[in-house]
Amino acid sequence: MNLLEEYDGKCLPKVETERLILRQRTVEDVKDLFAYASLPEVCHPAGFPPIATLEEEREYVEHKYFENLAKENLPSGYGITVKGSNRIIGSCDFNHRRSDDVFEMGYLLHPDFWGKGYMPEAVAALIEVGFTVLHLHKVEIRCYSSNQQSKRVAEKLGFTLEARIRGYKDFEGNHCDELAYGLLRTEWEAQHEKGL
């Protein structure tokens, strides 16, 4: 991972990975964001309703997103682009502050790009930024037990399943478990020393 900018204390710095560029999302990206945030197969496993209109997505990008960040005291996250294209194909963010140095992350990806390994690559970069730039102690991922893709990302990146909250309901009202994964900075450092 290469940092392409300095961290300004508010917006995470632009990042380059082997195949991706992670950058800030802007109003100019609304159509790209809407292309996946309007899809039930993307939003329901992540626990929220699909965005209904392009205008609703614009309102989110211009206002609600930053209001949520301010409320949680979090830096803005990333739009994911494939190198050579400026099109946003997904996003990864820190979306909850559990304590001053423990953040939960979330991620979404357009289905056209599923199965290519882009999300583990993007999430690994966000984790590295979290530990090396933000100096976090721990990163968490929570997902429904039915969300196989999210579980695979967490497991591939060395997260430990710390809790299974049984009898939960997913966004569609189906009974499932909620899974809580965690990765400590010391664990991440040990993985990197071993070249994992």
pTM above 0.85, yes or no: yes
Residue 108 CB coordination number (10 Å): 21
2-143-58-91 Cα dihedral, nearest 10 degrees: 20
Residue 57 clears pLDDT 90, i.e. is over it: yes
Mean pLDDT of 123-131: 97
Q: What angle do CA 6, 11, 16 make, to 5 degrees?
A: 55
Residue 34 clears pLDDT 90, i.e. is over it: yes
Residue 195 clears pLDDT 80, i.e. is over it: no
Q: What is the pLDDT of residue 10?
A: 85
Residue 17 clears pLDDT 90, i.e. is over it: yes
User: Residues 150-154: contacts with CB within 8 Å, 24+ apart?
Assistant: 150/45, 150/46, 150/107, 151/179, 152/120, 153/107, 153/119, 153/120, 153/123, 154/179, 154/181
Residue 62 host element (H or E): none
Residues listed for the chain = 196
Quick check: helix, strand or coil at residue 155? helix
Band (pLDDT 50/70/90 cuts) for residue 9 is confident
CB 111 within 8 Å of CB 121: no
What is the pLDDT of the chain when averaged over all its residues? 94
Residue 171 clears pLDDT 90, i.e. is over it: no
Band (pLDDT 50/70/90 cuts) for residue 70 is confident
Query: Domain 2-193, what fold?
Result: Aminopeptidase (3.40.630)
Residue 58 clears pLDDT 80, i.e. is over it: yes
Q: What is the pLDDT of residue 189?
A: 97
Q: Domain coordinates of the chain in residue numbers?
A: 2-193
Residue carrying structure tokens 């289905």: 111
Residue carrying structure tokens 């993007």: 122
What residue type is assigned to position 91 of the chain?
Answer: S
